[in-house]
Amino acid sequence: MPFLTFNSLYFLIFLLGISVLYYIMPNKLRWIVLLAASTIFYISAGIKKLPILVLTALIVFLSAKHMNIRFETAEQEADQRQLKGKERMAFLAPIKQTCRNRYLIPTIILVIAILCYCKFGADVFAFLNKNLTFWTWTDIIVPLGISYYTFSSIGYLLDIYWRKAKPIHNYFKYLLCVSYFPQIVQGPIARYHKLSSEIWKEHHFDYKNICFGIQLMLYGYFKKLVVADRLALFTGQILGNLADYEGLIILIALIFSSFQLYMDFSGCMDIVRGASQLFDVRLDKNFDHPFFSKSAAEFWRRWHITLGAWFKDYVYLPVVTSGWLAKQTNTIKEKAGKEAAKKINAAIPLAVVWLLTGLWHGTGWNYIVWGIYWGVLIISATIFAKQYKKMAELLHIDTTTRGYQVFQMVRTFFIFTIGRLITAPGTLENSALALKQLFRCFNPWIFWDGTLYRIGMDYKDFCVVLLSLVLIRKISMLQQKASVREAIANRNIVLRWAIYYGAIFAIIILGIYGVGYSASDFVYANF
């Protein structure tokens, strides 16, 4: 069975068949169709990957179930005793501690251990294989989308423990929430209570809903096949052979690499959300036009939204409210003053979040440096916000003007591009080489002597990319004001279908695929 990648014809045939079967089945049985489809999709990536997912889901399911039983039993007894306020909290405290020590912490440690083994085990074994003569290399099975379903599982456990959600009592229904095939590869990171409410609500066939889903998928395929995969031909050639290039070529490759990543990731999210909408299941939005951001913090509120929200709810806030941080803050307050304590109190949770964010994105030292890079930027902007405001006032800079806001957007984009310099070349050594080659010379003649158009993309490809980026920017600006899909739906049938066919033929004609070409995987796939 071929792997049902989102950018393959097999996936489209598979999606069509599942959609037809989904609406044929009675409403109460449709979740079984989605579970079967998710299982088939997962097996297509390798049947050996499935047991790890199934076992992990079972462990989390049982842990959450037993926690809930203990909580409900204790709460019923507290109700019978008519305990309220501090008395009730004191009565429930031992139960909470038991659940934490017996179920919550061991389960979280186990699923994180599995994640670390799958993500970092290959590097560890490679090191041992290289340095120990008696060591024999062992292949590691990496389950599809392990980072996404691990984070989703941890969030589910914590929500049950914090009594923010009720657990599901059917293991297979929980397995569906974990393995739901549109989002398993690349997200978004699901919140159980949101996804489950979408899956088990009353579903009806809605022509408009189907059209909206297809529209969103077409937009995603355009981003991926026309823009991202075309840019990959250029950036891959340069960033894969850094010693052969210098100056502006490196700079252009890094800038294009930023656009490539955005078009690839956001394109996948459009395909995922569009495919899910065919089943009337709405997934969380994962992008909100991040290149319109005016600061690093705003950028990450708009980029990979579900990941940022997950870190905020399950890492940042617990650290902020922890007794340990309160103790450290009080100590610093006594020794260095209130203002210093306030800054440290803001810095430590952000530092923890960004260290973990770096580790989540990759296993090399370059990703740790990347996490530190973004952490320093956001922490400094947070703790020195007043000083930056005073500096702008002293320099008589009007921060409300359109010109200054454009400057902020451009600045944020290049901050992101510098981040790509840390990760895109592959290793820190390659990043250093890219930086060296970038400043080795200034070569503007590449634009007119033809050099630029002989590296993966020709002049026509550059025109396609630039025109596509202009079109996507225009659509993004319109999306901030109103729903583009609603606007298309309200047009007359001739214009509406002209837009549909135009998008389809643009993807067919301009997409990067064909004989001798293998469509590249989505960048965030297999995380």
Q: How far is CA 14 from the centre of its chain?
A: 24
Q: Using an 8 Å Cβ cutoff, are 190 and 177 in contact?
A: yes
The pLDDT value given to residue 346: 82
Residues 55 and 95 in one domain: yes
Q: Is residue 18 part of a domain?
A: no
Claim to verify: residue 412 and residue 434 sit in the same structural domain: no
CA dihedral 501, 504, 509, 513 (to 10 degrees): -170
329 assigned to some structural domain: yes
| Closest to 273 in 3D by CA, of 223, 323, 324, 229 | 223
3-state secondary structure of 148: helix
- Alpha helices (H) along 185-227: 192-199, 207-221
Q: Do 357 and 384 sit in the same domain of this protein?
A: yes
Does some domain include residue 5? Answer: no
Q: Are 213 and 323 found together in one domain? A: no
Report yes or no on 304 lying in a domain. Answer: yes
Residues 76 and 61 in one domain: yes
Is the domain of 417 the same as that of 432? no
C-alpha distances in angstroms, 30 versus 208, 237, 245? 20, 46, 54
- Provide the number of structural domains found in the chain: 3
Q: What's the pTM?
A: 0.86
Cα–Cα distance, 226 to 215 (Å, whole number)? 16
User: Would residue 316 count as lying in a domain?
Assistant: yes
Q: 430 and 416 in one domain?
A: no
| Residues 210, 488: Cα–Cα separation, whole Å | 14
Rounded Cα–Cα distance for residues 178 and 151 (Å): 10
Per the domain annotation, does 457 fall within a domain? Answer: yes
Domain-embedded: residue 145: yes
Which of 165, 180, 195 is a domain's end point?
180
Under 8 Å CB-to-CB from 105, ≥6 apart: which residues? Answer: none
Q: What is the 3-state secondary structure (H, E, C) of 275-299?
A: HHHCCCCCCCCCECCHHHCCCHHHH
Extract the tokens encoding 70.
Answer: 């203990």
pLDDT mean values, one per 10 residues, the chain (527 residues)? 73 90 89 92 84 90 91 85 82 86 91 81 64 59 79 91 88 91 85 86 84 89 91 90 88 92 91 91 89 90 90 89 80 77 83 86 82 90 82 81 89 92 86 88 85 87 90 84 74 78 82 53 56
192: which 2 tokens?
């159980």
Listed in sequence order, the residues at least 6 apart from 256 whose beta carbon sits closer than 8 Å to its beta carbon are 231, 234, 235, 465
**Residue 450 sits in the same domain as residue 379:** no
Residue 197 lies in a domain: no
Strand partners, 76: none
Query: Among the three residues 377, 399, 421, which one is the final residue of a domain in this structure?
Result: 421
Q: Write out the residue range of the structural domain in which residue 414 sits.
A: 295-421
Domain boundary among 421, 440, 466: 421
Q: In this structure, are 348 and 446 located in the same domain?
A: no
Asked if residue 400 and residue 320 are part of one domain, the reply reads yes
121 and 149 in a common domain = yes
What DSSP string runs through 337-403?
Answer: -HHHHHHHHHHHHHHHHHHHHHHHH-SSHHHHHHHHHHHHHHHHHHHTHHHHHHHHHHTT--TTSHH
CA–CA separation, 498 and 475 (whole Å): 17
Phi, psi torsion values for 514, nearest 5 degrees:
130, -170
Same domain membership, residue 277 and residue 301: no
Q: How far apart are CA 450 and CA 452, in angstroms?
A: 6
Alpha-carbon 137 to chain mean position: 31
